[in-house]
Chain A
């Protein structure tokens, strides 16, 4: 089965907001529903609901039924996808900088040719 590639613009767009990043952190345990989450922020239930919807669309959290209530839980795999991509980007530049250093090291060091 072909797995759809992650939508990076959506993932990083969802993470480009401090409240949403905080929700992702809080929801790791999957203990709180939207109304409990909303109590942490100086904003309306509807506003928090909207943030959760954006995170859900990005695959960063899921809503799960737990008894009679619904809790928001962080999707660790979604976070890992973002993390891996950032790590890889960082490695790409680390490798480039290493190659630049190697090139510079080839330069003659002020020793006149004999």
Chain B
């Protein structure tokens, strides 16, 4: 398990996830900066992400959709605020209509990525997200599953359990 810490700050309404990888910062940055690599970890295997636009510059945009087992898709995007490769990225993550227009019915949330070298071969990645993401995530789960909330929670728990257990294919 490479997640080293998860900190929930109820006063600031943020959650911070810290992880360490046995790789240099430039390599960890590629996981975000290369859309083909991003696609391989952003969504779970059952809801893989496809990046259709990936313009990682301030003011740029990333458009993506996630496709479920029944072929159901939901669309989302990032508005890129700050980029400082290979250490720093700030995006607003929001949901979109099928044609890619932002769907303002759902809140956008800010995601702040920091990548720092711990030593020669280890890199720490820190992600700070606003809590409104939780509400929007719940909405997506309900949307994607087209099930009642309780059923969706059970299914997602199964999804995540499988996801952690399953070896990642090449």
Is the contact region of chain A dominated by helix, strand, or loop, or is it mixed?
helix
B44 touches A101 (CB 8 A): no
Known: A5-B142, A9-B135, A89-B137. A103 touches B160 (CB 8 A): no
Chain A 1-57 interface residues, beta-carbon cutoff 8 Å to B: 2-3, 5-6, 8-9, 12, 15-18, 21
Chain A residues near B167: list those with CB within 8 A.
102
Is the contact region of chain B dominated by helix, strand, or loop, or is it mixed?
mixed
One of A3, A89, A95 near B164 (C-beta < 8 A): A95
Chain A residues near B10: list those with CB within 8 A.
12, 15-16, 21
A98 smallest CB distance to B (angstroms): 6
B134 touches A85 (CB 8 A): yes
One of B3, B13, B23, B107 near A94 (C-beta < 8 A): B3
On chain A, the number of residues with a Cβ less than 8 Å from chain B's Cβ atoms is: 34
A-B contact count (CB 8 A): 100
A103 touches B168 (CB 8 A): yes
A106 to chain B: closest residue by CB:
B170
Chain A residues near B17: list those with CB within 8 A.
90, 93, 97
State which size class the interface on B falls in. Answer: 35 or more
Q: Which of B34-42, B55-63, B70-78 contacts A (4 or more CB under 8 A)?
A: B34-42
Chain A residues near B135: list those with CB within 8 A.
8-9, 12
Chain B 8-55 interface residues, beta-carbon cutoff 8 Å to A: 8, 10-11, 13, 15, 17, 19, 21-23, 27-28, 31, 37, 40-42, 44
Q: Is A88 an interface residue (CB 8 A)?
A: yes
B148 touches A94 (CB 8 A): no
A111 smallest CB distance to B (angstroms): 16
B167 to chain A: closest residue by CB:
A102
One of A12, A18, A103 near B41 (C-beta < 8 A): A103
Chain B residues near A8: list those with CB within 8 A.
134-135, 138
A6 to B137, CA, bound (A): 13
Known: A97-B2, A97-B19. A86 touches B8 (CB 8 A): yes
A100 touches B41 (CB 8 A): yes
Known: A3-B149, A84-B153, A104-B23. A94 touches B134 (CB 8 A): no
- Which of A's residues lie within 8 Å of B, judged by CB? 2-3, 5-6, 8-9, 12, 15-18, 21, 84-86, 88-104, 106-107
- Identify 20 new A-B residue pairs, CB closer than 8 A, beyond the known A100-B125, A104-B31: A3-B149, A5-B142, A9-B135, A12-B134, A12-B135, A16-B10, A16-B13, A21-B10, A88-B156, A89-B137, A91-B160, A92-B160, A94-B3, A95-B44, A95-B160, A97-B2, A100-B28, A100-B41, A107-B23, A107-B27
